[in-house]
Each structure stands twice: as C-alpha cells, then as structure tokens.
Amino acid sequence: MRQPLPVGLTRLAGGEVGLNPDEEVQARLHLVFTTFAELSSANAVVRYLWRHHLPLPSRPLRGPSPQVTVWDEATLDAVIGILHNPAYAGAYVYGRTVRDPTRAKLGRRGTGVRDLPMDRWAVLLHDRYPAYISWETFMVNQGRLEANQHSYARGRPGAPGRGDALLQGIAVCARCGGRMQLHYSGPSGEYPVYVCSHTRSQQPERDCQDVRTLAIDREIERVVLEALTPDTLAIALATMSEVEREDAALQKQWQLRLERARYEVERARRQYEAVEPENRLVARNLETQWEEKLRAVEQIERDYEGWRRREQLTVTADDREQILALAQDLPAIWSAPTTTAADRKQLLRLLIDSVLLDNRRQVGQTWLQINWRTGATTEHWARRSVRSYADYADGEQIEERVRTLHADGLMDAAIATALNTEGFRTSHGQPFRGSTVYVLRKLWELPTWNPLGRNPTRWPDGTYSVVGAAELLGVFPGTISLWLRQGVLHGWQISAGTPWHISLPEPEVDRLRARLTRTRSPHMRRSGRPAS
Ligand SMILES: [Zn+2]
C-alpha cells in the first residue's frame, strides 16, 4: 500500500523512495533532529527556528502531483509532526492514526484524528526508506516528547518551583530522556528526590530512577561557583567554540536559502526571456514574477545581514566582559543572606539549560551532565548519600580499612580517627565516630578488643601481641617490651600507644628460646607455655 510521503522523502521515477533531492529540505530536517537532540523539547526547537528565521518545508497532500514543497514559519505541530514521523527513521507504517469522531470539530478537516500507540499500528516495517535518524533515536525522541507532554500537562515546565531543590524543572533523566520531577520521600517526606516519572507513567509499579537532590545540588553548586571564578575561562572559552560551531551550521542554512532564492530569480529571468516579445501580457506577468523573486532575494539578504549582526554580538569582547563580570559577582550573590532559594534557582537558569542525571552508571555515584546555556556541556560525578554501605562508593574500601585497622588491634575511636584522616566519610557524608565504627564492626562481625583487658595473643595477620609473645616465649610481658626497645625482637605499631605487632617466625622463636635457656634464672620461669 502506497503511503503519502513526508516532505523529506520523494518517490523516484522507478517507484522506489529516496531522500528529497532538495538539499535545503534535507538540511532543515537534519537541523530539526539535531536541535531536538540538544534541546530535548519541541517547543525549544520551534523557538530556535523562529530566532534564526528558518521556515520549515512541507508538502501539501492535496492538489495535483507532483506536489511542490512549500516553506512556512515553523509551528509546534509541524516540528512534532516531523519528530513523530517513523518514515524519517526509515520505517514504513500503516495505521498510525485513527479517526475519532467524538474529537472532530464540525467543518474542520483533519480534526478528530488521534495517534495510536505503537503496539496498535497495523503495519510497521523497518528499513524501508532512506533514513534521517536511526530507529533508536526515533524511539528516544518519542520518549522525550511524551515526557515533555506530561510535564506540560502538570504546569509550566522549567519554571522554578517552591522547594529547595536547585534543579527542579531542569533535571532530565539520562536513562530515558524524560523530565525529572521533584518528589519528597521518606517516612515524613523529608528527603527531596528527583524522580523520573517517564517509566512511572507507563508502568505504574516501577520507576525509571530516583535521584536524591542533596548530593546533586551540592555538586551543582560547587561546579557553578568553581566554573565561574574569574580565573577559570573554561566556560567562556567553550562558549566561543560552541557558538562558532553553531554559527557555521546556520551559515550553511542561510547559504542554501539564498541559493534557492537566487536560483528562482534565474529561472524567472529565463522564463521572461523565453517569451515572444509580442506576447506582452505574459511577458508583463513574468516580469512581475521576476521582480518578486528579486525582491525575495533582497529580503533574504537583508535578513541574513541582520542575523549576522545579531549573532556576532554574542561573540564580541563585550559579551566576554559580561561573562567575566558575572563570574566575579556570582559567588557573592549566591551566598548573600538576602538571596533566597528561588533566587538561586533563577540564577542557575541563567547559566544552565538542563542537567542530565544517571544513577546507575556506577554504584553509589550519580553521573551528571550539565548543559550550559552557552551550549557547552560538562560531565561530573556526585557521591550519593545512601543509607546502605553496600551501595556506597567507598563501601568496600572502608570495610577493608576497618578490617585491617581492627586486625592491627586499634580501638573503635582510633579506627574512626584513622578513617577520617584518610579522607573517608560515612555513607551520610559525616566524619566517622567510634560509635559508627562499632556499628560497622557488628555488621561485619568483627570481635571487640577489650581496651581494659588483655590484648589477644595473636593478631589475625599472624603476628603476636606483647602478651602473646610473652606466653609463647615463657617470659614476662615487661621483658618483651624491653626486648622490643633493645631491638632483640622485631615488632611494629600502627601508631604510638597502639598494640605491638611482633613478628615471631619459627627460627626466631628457636633462637630466642636458646638465648633464654642460657640466661634464665629460676625465679623468672613461668609455669606452663601456651601451645603454639
Ligand atoms: Zn527515566
């Protein structure tokens, strides 16, 4: 069954389908797809096209064929139509819409047509047409469009909300492209969370991902304040290169537009010149058309000049000054006592377009990509505050350290001090205390050393404590201490005041016992030797 083709595709003479040979049509459609990939919102794409005076091509389905391409100012419907069209991903689809008479408006053609969900399409065949985007990209786009619709339905998207979460309205799920909304979780709703509700809308029982706001907001704050210090020109420089790149792409669009207009002038001129001089009426008509085409070229040239002047403003030294001025003031404004949470959000909107969040790339960490207003993007990791050590980025390392320090005979408080000095923090981002270590030891089933009682005779690494060495060699602990000071025994301490670890391999034990039998006087003998 032959389907009407969208403007980006053309049925060739042989009946097969190719890309529309008009390079400008192709380029504009590509621009729609790449812009949507960057901005994630059909509305933003429309605004972008308006800002740059770029109309969209379409092909009216009615009237005699072959239908010509018409260019109109971009509308939301047109952009969504392009993004929704599976033909641009190479797929042949039949039965994508259904007529719904209850929604039809009297006397209005085309109303009452409703899109069906993909699983109810009658026919879906992949790789039938040359594609502008891959099927995967098409699917991602559908997800984003749907997520946007949900957030539009709930209220103004992107408008700063009331809560304290900085990214409210600009957090985007990196897993599915859906917008993330602010929710409060916890027994009494005390934890603000960015929740991807895309999956929630399809499978009510499962969320795509939730991201606690606290660590993310802290990281965003840090990055923003750090990135905008006057010394750091990274962002400003990124602006330059990004604007230049975008500039080149737009230059191309303008060039194509001018080329087309000039071609039409040329054609009108040829038509005019081809008319017999005596056929005055036709000649006059054609002359008028020629003149109109010329005026159109002039208009486009003027628009182009205007655009160039406007665009070039964004990369002047003036602008650089402004960026730097903001950089200078921002830290002060940000932390001023009069600056409210809403103000900070507003400030952030000036700098950041959106932030992609991904909780599942690495255990205990959240990956974030900041899409700066300048067009630059930067990637960061935020350590999550999680409640379970198994979920914690440093969980394994901490367990290993605690086990080692414990094996060294350190008391809980000393272990806590050691962990803090080494830069570890609890899963809540707090410094360790003795009681935290105690809880962890219970969790990992590590025995308690009794600070008032005797140390164990042997440490888990095979070395002996002073008491253990004394028992093994049949001497008083004081002798062991003396020998340690004299260097007769080899031992070490984690730090001054912590238990000794005495290395006593078999030959060493024999050597020391031999030495003892030579020097021992009867009153020093201890009864019984521990079995070794
Ligand atoms: Zn998601």
Q: Write the pLDDT tens digit of every residue in 360-376.
A: 888 778 999 998 876 67
Answer with the one of 99, 118, 148 that is the final residue of a domain. Answer: 148
499/453 Cα distance (integer angstroms) = 12
Q: Highest mean pLDDT: which of 18-22, 61-65, 160-164? A: 18-22
Residues with CB under 5 A from ligand 1 (ion): 173, 175-176, 178, 196, 198, 208
* pLDDT value at residue 498: 67
Cα gap 503→483, rounded to integer Å: 13
Looking up tokens 């064929």 gives 65
Q: Detail the DSSP E strand segments found in 186-289.
A: 191-196, 210-212
User: Could you tell me if 355 and 369 lie in one domain?
Assistant: yes
CA of 172 to the centre of ligand 1 (A): 8
* Same-domain pairing of 241 and 256: yes
Is residue 46 included in any domain, yes or no?
A: yes
CA of 365 to the centre of ligand 1 (A): 17
Q: Residue 50: which domain range?
A: 1-91+126-148
Is 454 within the bounds of a domain? Answer: no
125/17 Cα distance (integer angstroms):
14
- pLDDT of residue 158 exceeding 50, the answer is no
> Percent of the chain, pLDDT > 90?
9
Ramachandran angles phi, psi of 389, nearest 5°: -70, -25
Residue 250 included in any domain: yes
Say if 97 falls within a structural domain: no
Q: Is residue 458 part of a domain?
A: no
Residues 337, 236 share a domain: yes
Query: Do 190 and 252 have their domain in common?
Result: yes
Q: 84-98, 241-255, 258-272: lowest mean pLDDT where?
A: 241-255
Distance 32 CA to ligand 1 centre (A): 23
In a domain, 271, yes or no: yes
For residue 276, what is the DSSP state?
A: -
Residue 199 amino acid letter: T
Q: How many domains does the chain have?
A: 4
Say whether both 247 and 291 belong to one domain: yes
In this structure, the strands spanning 377-383 and 490-493 are unpaired
One domain, residues 167 and 193? yes
C-alpha angle 341/342/346, rounded to 5°? 120
Give the span between the Cα atoms of 395 and 384, in whole angstroms: 12
Could you tell me the CA-to-CA distances from 77 to 45, 84, 85 in Å, in that order? 11, 10, 12
Instruction: Compute the distance from residue 210 Cα to the ligand 1 centre, in Å.
Output: 9
Mean pLDDT over the full length of the chain: 76
273-277, 286-290, 369-373, 470-474: the lowest-pLDDT one: 273-277
Q: State in Å: Cα 450 to ligand 1 middle.
A: 51
* Nearest by Cα to 83 from 72, 73, 94, 75: 75
- CA of 59 relative to ligand 1 center, distance in Å: 35
Indicate whether 372 and 242 sit together in one domain.
yes
What whole-number distance in Å separates Cα of residue 422 and Cα of residue 419?
Answer: 5
Ligand 1 centroid to Cα of residue 144, in Å, is 10
Query: What are the tokens at 457?
Result: 């005779």
Lowest-confidence pick of 228-242, 297-311, 468-482: 228-242
Distance in angstroms (rounded) separating the CA atoms of residues 311 and 254: 13
Q: Is 26 among the domain residues?
A: yes
Phi, psi (5° rounding) for residue 298? -55, -45
Q: Are residues 12 and 76 in the same domain?
A: yes
- Are residues 25 and 8 in contact, defined by beta-carbon separation less than 8 angstroms? yes
Whether residue 407 sits in one domain with residue 310: no
Based on the fold, state whether residues 303 and 348 are members of the same structural domain: yes
| Residue 303 is assigned to a structural domain of this protein | yes
Ligand 1 midpoint to CA 15 (Å): 41
In angstroms, what is the span from residue 380 Cα to ligand 1's centroid? 19
| Cα–Cα distance for residue pair 264/22, rounded to 1 Å | 13
From CA 45, how far away is CA 38, in angstroms rounded? 9
Distance 378 CA to ligand 1 centre (A): 20
**Residue 31: pLDDT band with limits 50, 70, 90:** very high
Identify whether residues 205 and 344 lie together within a single domain: yes
Q: Which of 82, 116, 148 is the C-terminal boundary of a domain?
A: 148
What is the pLDDT at residue 529? 43
Separation of 92 CA from ligand 1 center, angstroms?
28
Q: What distance in angstroms lies between residue 174's CA and the mean position of ligand 1's atoms?
A: 7
Which phi and psi (to 5°) does residue 168 adopt?
Answer: -55, 125
Domain with residue 69: its CATH number is 3.90.1750.20
pLDDT(58) > 80? yes
Q: Tell me, yes or no, whether 317 and 299 share the same domain.
A: yes
pLDDT digits (tens, 9 = 90+) for 10-27: 888 787 889 988 889 999
Predicted confidence (pLDDT) per residue in 165-215, tens digit: 889 888 998 888 888 888 877 655 666 788 886 654 555 445 678 888 888
State which of 443, 458, 489 marks the end of a domain: 443
